[in-house]
Each structure stands twice: as C-alpha cells, then as structure tokens.
C-alpha cells in the first residue's frame, strides 16, 4: 500500500466526517423555529423573583389567554416580576383521558380553548413591556392516551407487561420512558420550541421529583445553551437535590406543610428555622425556594383564608414566606381574598374579582419593599423567633432590616434582643422607630413590623450602663441584666456580653446571667459602636434545695413520681420516698422539673402519649414547663415546646399523660407541696437555741402557695409558749433567698 495514498485517504475521511457532523448540527438548529420577537433582557435574577401563578380557566369568564391579557396591569401592580401560566396545551379526549391541563395531547400547540399562538405571543409581548417575565407550565413525565406518540412511538413509554403504564397515581396520563434518549430529545425539542416561537422566559416543570436528576441536568444544560435567553427553571417538587440538577427554584412544599400550616394550627413558631435549614441544604449561588400560602393544588381543597384564618393571617404568612428566605408566590384570586375552592379540573368556578379589591394593596406593599431591599433578597438571616412571633434580621453590607410577625390570631409579646436595638424607619410608613434591648413589643393578632436602617441619620453611642450593677443568685438560677445605651436614639445599639469567669456565671447574647458554681464573676456589656463598656458584679451561692411533692386536684391521693422506667407515673402516699420529690429549676420564664431520686427531668420530647423522664438539659424546650396558676393554689403544668400539652391523668392509665387537656380539668391541675422530712421535731434544754429540725405536720404555713404577698405560720402550742427561737427562711421556686427571720 502506498503510504502517501493512505494518509491522503485518511484526511479525506476526516473531512467527510467533520462535514457530516456539521450537517447534523445545522439540522438540529434547523428544528428550532425562527426567533419571535426580541429576547427579554429584564428577566430577574432568581433571588429577585416575585412570582404570580395564572390559573387560566377560572381567571376570566372566557377562561382564555385574552382574559389574562386584560388583567396584566393588575398583576404588575402587585409588585410581580414573573408570571407563570398553567398549561396552555390541548388535553386528551379519549375515553382514558381527562380535561386536566396536565393530560397533554400536543406539547407544541396552544389549545383552542385558550386561544392561539398569536394570543400567547401577545400576552408575552405585553408582559415584557410591563417588565414581567413569562414562564410556561410544562409536564415532561407523560402524555394523554391519544397523543400521537402512542401509535407513532409506542417504544417511548413504560410498560407493565404489554400494557403502557399510567403515570404514578394519574390514570389519565400515559407514563413516558424518560430513560429513552429519543424521548429526552423530543421533550427538549418541545421546550426549546416555545423559547423561540413565543419568546418565553423559562419553565415551571410539573411533578419534577419524578424524573431522575440526570434527566433534568441534560434538559437544563441544553436549554441553557440558548445563549440569547436568560431562562428561569422552576422545579415543582420538594426533592432537595433538584438544585443539583441546575434548577434555579424549588417548590416550598416543606415550608407549607411542615412550617406555616402546623404553626397556623398552634405549633411553636420557633421551629420554623428547621424547615428553612432543610429546604436550603443543597442550594448554592442564590438558588431559591418558592414559598406559597396557596396554589392550584391546595386550592382544590382549602383556601388560604380558610387555612390562615383571615386576610391578615394570609398576609402575615405571605410576608414571612417572602422575607425570611425564599421567593414569594401568589396564586390567582388571592389578591382579592377570593375565598372559594377551585376543584380539579378547574372548569366549574370563576374568580370574582370584586370580592375585596383593596386586599391587593397589602400584597403589593410586601412585594415592593422586598424588591427595594437588597438585605431582604440577599442578606444573611439571624433568627430570633419565639413560640408565637417570627422575628429575624436580614443584613447585607450596611443595610439592616428587622422583621417581627405575630403568627397568632391573638395578642403576642416579644422581648427585643440586643441584635434588634437601634434607630430605624418603618419600611412602609417611614415613621421613626427606636428599639431598646430588653423592652417588650406587643403585637396585635397577625400584626407585622418591618423596620429598616436605610436613610436613617447616624447617631453615635456616647456610653452604656447596666442594671442591676450587682446581683446575688443561686447556682442554676438566672437573672436578666439590662443595658441602657446612650443616647436613647443612638443608631447602633447592638451590644455584646461577656463573663470574666464562665465557670462561676455565664451570660447569654441577650444578657441573661446563669449561676454555675459558688464564687464571684464580672459581667461586661460592650457596645458595638464606640466600644463603650459597663459591668455588673455577680455573686453566686449554692442554695439549699427545696423539693416538692406534686399533688393532683382531681385525685388528691395521687402524686407524680419517677420509677426510672422513662415514663412519668403517679401513685399514693409519697411519704419520704425521694422518687416522689421534685426540684423546680428556673430557666427564666420556665422551669425544669428534676426528680430527686433519679436525677431525671420531665419532658415530652418523644411524643409517645405519656410524659417521659430522662437525662435532658436546659436547652430542651420539651423539658421546660410554665406553671400557670388556676385557683386555691392549684396550677396547670404546660409544656414550652408544645403549648397544647399539659400534664394530666384524665385517662387513669397509670402514666401521666399530656394530650387533650382542657381548661378547667381538675385532672390537669397540680399543687406543689413541700416534701416531707423523715426527722422528728426536738426541743432544746437551753434557752435561745434554734429549733433546727421540725416535722412539716407540726408546723403549718397558710395560704400555700402565698397569695398577695402574705402568709401565716402556725406552730405547736408547746413551742410557741416555750420562748424558743425559730429561723424562717423564705425562698422562691428557683431557690433564691428572699428573706430570713
């Protein structure tokens, strides 16, 4: 073989192959229609989206795209910059199909019920002119049963034997085999089509948890290759890993079902951070969770007004959804408080746009401030929420926003933390507001307060003081130190706290000091602005511990005890049995109840139906209790974590229960009775000696507990007439010494 001929032929082969590949590329590009219009350069960054869902069928009397076009200005006035249209495609009409918008017969045409391609183009053009992007709803997972692919490409579907499978639980949808390369190409082709044919700006991808991440990665990578367009990709799914496939946005199902809905039913607001942390576990580079208070799926069963109690309740939850972390989302009709469910397949109801037109102003106010605030959209968040109030800061550079939202339909209070202290303006009214650490903010039902430091004149800190200047407290007890920053209108009132000896006393970020061991420590408060300082001297002493028997009102023969089984029990006649004796340890506004015998604490952490005992610590809200007085010395024992859970023995199971207690139940009322000593009172032969060992039944104290700050001590007659001395020490439930006589 001639060597030169061989190499010449190889070059010819290489040229032919290169030409063939180029031809294939040209053919692939030729499949895209000509670009309609000019690609929109106003598509917002994914962190800046305020989204609105257009529910086309109930949106207008005609239920078509023209009905949407007629209200585009109203949508814009809500502060919206992205709208997504529910499916616009023809639905299947065979006996196995349904009129569902997601039972799609043709991915590349507009259903006549909605109008025409010209109508869609007009809608997109007018939305772009108003500064709004348009996304289409797209379902990649399956087709109607009369889709042409059923006969043209039967191998494109998943089979159960010789029968095409339905998609998941949807009998009207034939399940596509997304592992088939031809199917993936056809889906990509259809999604590219609308970008060019109608100049749309992205997709809301239905049932996005179903396809594999690799499928989505291939689809999204291909669409991102259309460099003339900035496309938003929104996964209608709560699979955390959807972000890893390249989606800009993921759906907030966890937010709705695990956070705001349980909170609306009474769960503590404080757990809201857990859901946020979960949803953003895989988010990077500003990827966002779309957080809704309603959508077309939810609206089939319940409205936002029904879920959250009122217009004010909806707005409060909407604000938290859009400000705490996430993209705010409105569905059609929410802006007028339309309070009617719209059942599938969305053909039987039309939205009444005259229900409450003024409701739109509240949603617009929330959206417009979000758009104006970089801190809200991109700032770092610090959460200060308590049981009833969602409270947090958002900070970006020098911009700081304070948010306090009462998520209850009743008045709530919130203690201002040091991180909130400073001078601000109300984000909506512009009025000046000064927050002081330690002060109490009262919030009316569903009230929200949003404050910003933007355009607030800077006032320098000149000094700081702390009150009280000295404190004596017991080990295990806590006290609140309060700083006062001067002047009162200082711009930056943030302070830090530190202890000179944390083995003696610790101090929290809000100035709560806790005694650890006997000794003396200095607590220093320091201003962020100017480094001004003040100190408080803390003396910690080890108190004598008071133990209590906890007696039930309904069955006064029963007292709570811990037999070390892990379940709180009740029994009769505690006597001197230490398993019936409990120490009340203060954590501030709440107490821990620690058993003398086992050293374990009452708690409801495991939610087993019975109150549990175990080795917890002071940070467990499930082991913290409020002691709420009823009458005549009886109290409810109410859990801090689950405020609807009160210790009771209504069902007489042998274990103390917590569920279903009602106001007025004697079975849920308890008295703390000083535990009996095993010693006998003895006298002394010497005058002026102290009587140090007195049996409880020989000395009466009444009323017990004390009312109106007064009580009486009744002693035996032989003791009162013997001219002997007695030492009376009065302590509170935390063991703090109040007086000695």
Predicted confidence (pLDDT) per residue in 382-441, tens digit:
999 999 999 999 999 999 999 999 999 999 999 999 999 999 999 999 999 999 999 999
SS3 577: coil
**Average pLDDT for residues 597-624, to the nearest whole number?**
91
Interatomic CA distance for residues 651 and 667, integer angstroms? 9
What is the average pLDDT value for the chain, to the nearest integer?
88
647: helix, strand or coil: coil
pLDDT at 712 over 50: yes
> CA–CA distance from 684 to each of 303, 616, 713 (Å)?
77, 45, 20
pLDDT of residue 460: 86
Alpha-carbon span 211 to 209, nearest angstrom: 6
- pLDDT computed for residue 731 by the predictor: 53
Measured CA angle at 303 (ends 408, 242), to 5 deg: 90
Q: Report the distance separating Cα 87 and Cα 551, nearest Å.
A: 64
211, 140 contact by CB (below 8 A): yes
Q: Tell me, what's the pLDDT at 464?
A: 95
Instruction: Provide the pLDDT confidence category of residue 256 given band limits of 50, 70 and 90.
Output: very high
* Phi/psi at 433 (5° precision): -140, 135
Return d(Cα 243, Cα 431) in angstroms, integer: 40
Buried b (16+ CB within 10 A) or exposed e, 206-225: bbbebbeeebbebbbebbee
Q: What SS3 state is found at 406?
A: strand
Domains along the chain?
47-372 (3.20.20.80), 380-452 (2.60.40.1180), 465-538 (2.60.40.1080), 547-674 (2.80.10.50), 696-740 (no CATH)
How far does CA 450 lie from the centroid of its chain? 17
Q: How far apart are CA 197 and CA 321, in angstroms?
A: 35
pLDDT, residue 631, reads 80
Q: Is the pLDDT of residue 476 over 80?
A: no
The whole-number pLDDT of residue 714 equals 54
Give the mean pLDDT of 330-354.
Answer: 97
- Nearest by Cα to 344 from 310, 295, 305: 295
Q: Above 80 in pLDDT, residue 27?
A: no
728: confidence class by pLDDT, cuts 50, 70, 90:
low
Phi-psi sector, 605: left (phi>0), alpha (psi -120 to 50), beta = alpha
Average the pLDDT over 643-669 and give the result.
94
pLDDT digit string (tens) for 125-141? 999 999 999 999 999 99
Mean pLDDT of 196-218: 98
List, in order, residues 6 or more apart from 352 with CB less than 8 Å away: 336, 338, 340
For the segment 470-485, the average pLDDT, to the nearest whole number, is 88
SS3 (DSSP) at 569 = strand
- Among 221, 216, 198, smallest CA distance to 206 is for 216
* Average pLDDT value for residue range 448-453: 97
The percentage of the chain sitting over the pLDDT mark of 70, rounded to a whole number, equals: 87
Q: Is pTM beyond 0.75 here?
A: no
């Amino acid at each position: 073989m001639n060597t030169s001929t061989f190499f010449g032929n190889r070059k010819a082969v290489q040229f032919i192959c290169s030409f063939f590949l180029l031809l294939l590329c040209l053919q692939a590009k030729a499949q895209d229609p000509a670009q309609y219009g000019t690609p929109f350069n106003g598509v917002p960054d994914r962190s800046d989206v305020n989204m609105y869902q257009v529910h086309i069928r109930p949106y207008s009397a005609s239920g078509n795209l023209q009905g949407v076009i007629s209200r585009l200005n109203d949508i814009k006035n809500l502060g919206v910059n992205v709208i997504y249209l529910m499916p616009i495609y023809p639905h299947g009409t065979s006996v196995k199909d349904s009129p569902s918008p997601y039972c799609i017969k043709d991915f590349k045409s507009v259903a006549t019920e909605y109008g025409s391609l010209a109508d869609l183009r007009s809608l997109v053009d007018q939305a772009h002119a108003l500064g709004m992007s348009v996304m289409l709803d797209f379902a990649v997972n399956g087709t109607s049963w009369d889709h042409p692919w059923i006969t043209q490409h039967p191998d494109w579907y998943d089979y159960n034997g010789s029968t095409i499978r339905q998609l998941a639980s949807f009998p009207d949808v034939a399940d596509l085999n997304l592992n088939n390369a031809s199917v993936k190409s056809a889906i990509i082709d259809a999604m590219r089509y609308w970008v060019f044919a109608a100049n749309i700006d992205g997709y809301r991808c239905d049932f996005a948890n179903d396809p594999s991440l690799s499928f989505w990665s291939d689809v999204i990578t291909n669409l991102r290759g259309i460099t003339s367009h900035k496309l938003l990709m929104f996964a209608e799914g709560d699979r955390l890993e959807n972000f890893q496939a390249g989606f800009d946005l993921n759906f907030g199902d966890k937010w709705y079902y695990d956070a705001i809905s349980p909170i609306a039913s009474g769960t503590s607001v404080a757990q809201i951070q857990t859901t946020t942390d979960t949803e953003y576990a895989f988010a990077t580079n500003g990827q966002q969770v779309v957080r809704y208070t309603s959508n077309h799926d939810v609206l089939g069963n319940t409205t936002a007004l029904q879920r959250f109690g009122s217009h004010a309740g909806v707005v409060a939850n909407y604000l938290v959804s859009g400000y705490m972390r996430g993209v705010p989302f409105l569905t059609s009709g929410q802006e007028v408080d339309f309070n009617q469910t719209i059942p599938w397949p969305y053909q039987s109801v039309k939205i009444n746009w005259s229900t409450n037109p003024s409701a739109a102003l509240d949603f617009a106010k929330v959206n417009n401030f979000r758009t104006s605030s970089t801190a809200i959209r991109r700032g770092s968040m610090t959460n200060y929420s308590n049981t009833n109030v969602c409270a947090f800061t958002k900070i970006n550079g020098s911009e700081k926003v304070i948010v306090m939202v009462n998520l209850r339909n009743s008045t709530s209070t919130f203690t201002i933390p040091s991180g909130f202290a400073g001078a601000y303006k109300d984000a909506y009214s512009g009025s000046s507001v000064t927050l002081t650490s330690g002060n109490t903010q009262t919030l009316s039902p569903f009230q929200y307060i949003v404050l910003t430091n933007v355009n607030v004149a800077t006032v320098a800190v000149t000094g700081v003081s702390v009150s009280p200047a000295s404190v004596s407290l017991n080990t295990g007890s806590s006290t609140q130190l309060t700083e006062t920053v001067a002047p009162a209108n200082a711009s930056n009132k943030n302070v830090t706290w530190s202890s000179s000896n944390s083995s003696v006393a610790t101090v929290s970020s809000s100035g709560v000091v806790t005694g650890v061991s006997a000794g003396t420590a200095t607590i220093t408060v320091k201003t962020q602005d100017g480094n001004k300082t003040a100190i408080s001297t803390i003396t910690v002493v080890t108190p004598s511990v008071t133990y209590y028997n906890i007696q039930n009102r309904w069955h006064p023969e029963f007292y709570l005890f811990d037999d070390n089984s892990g379940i709180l029990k009740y029994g009769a006649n505690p006597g001197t049995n230490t398993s019936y004796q409990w120490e009340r340890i203060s954590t501030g506004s709440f107490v821990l109840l620690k058993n003398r015998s086992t050293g374990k604490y009452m708690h409801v952490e495991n939610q087993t139906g019975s109150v549990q005992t175990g080795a917890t610590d002071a940070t467990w809200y499930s082991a913290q209790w409020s002691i709420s007085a009823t009458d005549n010395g009886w109290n409810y024992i109410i859990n801090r974590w689950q405020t609807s859970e009160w210790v009771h023995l209504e069902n007489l199971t042998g274990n103390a229960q917590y569920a279903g207690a009602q106001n007025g139940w004697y079975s849920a009322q308890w008295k703390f009775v000083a535990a009996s000593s095993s010693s006998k009172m003895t006298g002394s032969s010497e005058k002026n000696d102290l009587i140090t060992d007195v049996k409880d039944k020989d000395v009466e104290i009444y009323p017990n507990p004390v009312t109106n700050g007064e009580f009486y001590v009744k002693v035996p007659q032989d003791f009162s007439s013997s001219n002997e001395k007695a030492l009376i020490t009065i302590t509170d439930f935390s063991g703090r010494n109040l007086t000695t006589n």
